[in-house]
Amino acid sequence: MKRTYTTIVLLFLGLAFNSPLKAKEFAPVGTAVAQFLEIAQGARGTAMGQAYTASGYDAGAVFWNPAGIVGSEGKGLFLGYNRWVADITFGSFSFAMNFGNYGTIALSGVYMFTPDMDVTTVMYPEGTGEKFSLSNHSFGITYARYLTNRLSVGVTLKSVREYYYYHGYTTWAVDVGTLYRTGFHGLNLGMSIFNFGPEIRYNWAYIDYSNPFSYKNNETRPFEKQSLPVNFRVGVSFDIYNADQNRLIFASDMVHSNNNIEYYNFGMEYGFKKIFFLRGGYRINLDEGGLTLGLGVKFPWLDGRKATIDYSYADRGIFNGIHRFSMGFSL
């Protein structure tokens, strides 16, 4: 077991040191639709550099690895809020209920709103006087259970809706995850795939303004088919130190996306008396952003049940930093 533990650590460190070699590869960013599905939800995971595939254990884990929700005791509620760049607002929720040997079920959702924007055309570059906004959302149902006393699996079936102006679509997607708890120094191994579903086509049609004949004659053409942003994640987490009411966790994820090159997330969490938490992380092989920081507190709130409040900050390079807040409740 010690040899396995050492091999896993060296593997992820090796991937990190080799990542600059991949930075020269072409990144097919923006080649998939529903980009709002790739925005991370939850302040704990984002504070740890989004190295959370093997670390999530409550209702909020549904957004990282569906197999993690088996860690919910009884009933659990997760609420998240995220103020993105350009005044875009994200919100998320998850309600999980543990049925013991029968497994755990969760209902979850993510929504995105934008402020009103001007409709512009080639003939009216300053605006037509019309306004439009985006209102995208996804809702899902998750089922997870233990296959053994250490291995859990989970699957989410969800709807995805994306509309702007007159164009949009509604489709479905599936998330699948596994989580293995070795029982050795808190070592967990996780794997998940998100947003696996059919290709979609926006409704209506569009005018190709790059073709003079097309826009002069008001000729429209149908949208091409596009894929959802499929993400494959492999993660590991383990205890660096766990004694005397102090715990220090290290976590790492490797993420492979169909609309980006591979990137790597690293994070740590220090907990004192399972009440106060300090977190930090770093993301490698991304165009913008790297450092993440955060903190959290856990406290009793209802008949001895626990509640948590978490905050995270993420650097976004030339953009404004991202602030996230989330709350969790045992019900």
For residue 274 the two structure tokens come to 């399972």
**pLDDT value of position 5:** 45
Domain residue spans of the chain: 2-330
- DSSP string across 168-186: EEEEEEEEEEEEEE--STT
pLDDT exceeds 70 at position 16: no
**pLDDT value of position 17:** 45
Radius of gyration of the chain (CA): 21
User: What are the backbone dihedrals phi and psi of residue 191, each rounded to the nearest 5 degrees, phi first?
Assistant: -150, 140
Average pLDDT over residues 187-193: 97
Contact 108, 82 (CB under 8 A): no
**pLDDT value of position 26:** 64
Residue 31 to residue 159: CA distance in whole angstroms = 20
Strand, coil or helix: 292: strand
Strand, coil or helix: 208: coil
Q: Which CATH superfamily is domain 2-330 in?
A: monomeric porin ompg (2.40.160.40)
pLDDT exceeds 50 at position 15: no
* pLDDT tens string 213-258: 777 777 888 888 999 999 999 999 999 999 989 999 999 999 999 9
* pLDDT tens string 91-142: 999 999 999 999 999 999 999 988 888 888 777 888 888 888 888 999 999 9
Mean per-residue pLDDT of the chain? 88
Nearest to 98 by CA among 52, 142, 43: 142
CA 59, 152, 157, 223 dihedral sign is positive
**pLDDT value of position 25:** 62
pTM, rounded to two decimals:
0.87
**pLDDT value of position 73:** 84
